[in-house]
């Protein structure tokens, strides 16, 4: 795949993640439901992951460290769901 197309797609995905995070923040402000803040933070972590991948050379050995942001995002989603179900 052409590098320019790859950068464009990663930027579009990051922009989409930020837009989704802003939607969750808006819902959190209107309802004060903590699940929405967990999801907003998770999508911001996804955006950081995609943005970081665009700026790191594919040949760099430490590139896999960027996937820790993705792991953190999934952990935030799981914690949010567990928190929502525990509070009942």
Report the mean per-residue pLDDT for the chain: 92
Tens of pLDDT along 20-61?
999 999 999 999 999 999 999 999 999 999 999 888 877 777
Question: CB atoms < 10 A from the CB of 40, how many?
Answer: 22
CA atoms of 1 and 62, how far apart (whole Å): 22
CA atoms of 37 and 29, how far apart (whole Å): 9
Domain chopping of the chain, boundaries: 3-87
DSSP H or E stretch at residue 35: helix 34-55
Tell me the whole-structure pTM to 2 decimals.
0.90
Query: Alpha carbon 48 to chain centroid distance?
Result: 7
């Amino acid at each position: 795949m052409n590098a320019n197309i790859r950068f464009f797609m990663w930027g579009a995905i990051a922009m989409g993640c930020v837009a989704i995070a802003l939607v969750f923040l808006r819902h959190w402000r209107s309802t004060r439901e903590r699940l929405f803040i967990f999801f907003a933070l998770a999508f911001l972590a996804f955006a950081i992951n995609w943005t970081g991948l665009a700026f790191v050379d594919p040949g760099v050995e430490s590139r896999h460290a960027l996937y820790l942001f993705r792991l953190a995002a999934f952990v935030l989603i799981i914690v949010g769901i567990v928190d929502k179900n525990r509070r009942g």
